[in-house]
């Protein structure tokens, strides 16, 4: 192995071609980008499955909860009208409860979606680009 390194060094010293170091740097850069692409593909495969499952579960859960909410609203309006409220007042009271609950659920959903996607790939790419562009 030592002799092959020495032979490469001797070739570099004897070779007056100024493009040789640039092509070596180019090969290193291409190899780094290939590693980044491979890590990105692996991370995307993991995140893609997680995100797809999450979206499917959220959609099915939302549909089921929407059905329950409609039924609870009907029951709530019926109980409020039985308690003496007019139909319009009962519907407005249920709308206020729905608005409060909807706001709370939106806050919880936004908080759950704040986790960054592909953090390892982004960090590694930042470090590599920083190292390549550093003087």
DSSP-assigned states of every residue in 22-89: HHHHHHHHHHHHHHHHHHHHHHHHHHHHHHHHHHHHHHHHHHHHHHHHHHHHHHHHHHHHHTT--HHH
pLDDT at 126: 84
Question: What confidence category does residue 135 fall into, taking pLDDT thresholds of 50, 70 and 90?
Answer: low
Cβ proximity of 32 and 128 under 8 Å: yes
In this predicted structure, which of 7-11, 16-20, 25-29, 75-79 has the lowest mean pLDDT?
A: 7-11
pTM exceeds 0.75, yes or no: no
pLDDT at 2: 46
Compute the distance between CA of residue 125 and CA of residue 34 in angstroms, rounded to an integer.
11
Checking if the pLDDT of 7 tops 50, the result is no
Cβ proximity of 127 and 121 under 8 Å: no
pLDDT in tens, 64-108: 988 998 998 999 999 999 999 999 999 999 899 889 988 998 999
Mean pLDDT across 38-60:
86
Give the domain extent around 62: 2-133
Domain count, the chain: 1
């Amino acid at each position: 192995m030592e002799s092959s390194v020495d032979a490469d060094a001797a070739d570099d010293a004897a070779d007056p071609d100024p493009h040789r170091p640039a092509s070596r740097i180019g090969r290193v850069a291409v190899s780094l980008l290939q590693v980044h692409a491979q890590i990105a593909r692996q991370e995307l495969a993991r995140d893609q499955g997680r995100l797809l499952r999450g979206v499917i579960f959220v959609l099915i859960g939302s549909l089921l909860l929407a059905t329950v909410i409609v039924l609870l609203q009907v029951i709530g309006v019926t109980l409020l009208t039985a308690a003496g409220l007019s139909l319009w007042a009962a519907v407005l009271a249920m709308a206020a409860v729905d608005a409060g609950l909807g706001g709370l659920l939106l806050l919880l959903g936004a908080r759950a979606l704040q986790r960054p996607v592909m953090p390892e790939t982004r960090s590694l790419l930042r470090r590599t680009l920083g190292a390549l562009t550093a003087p």
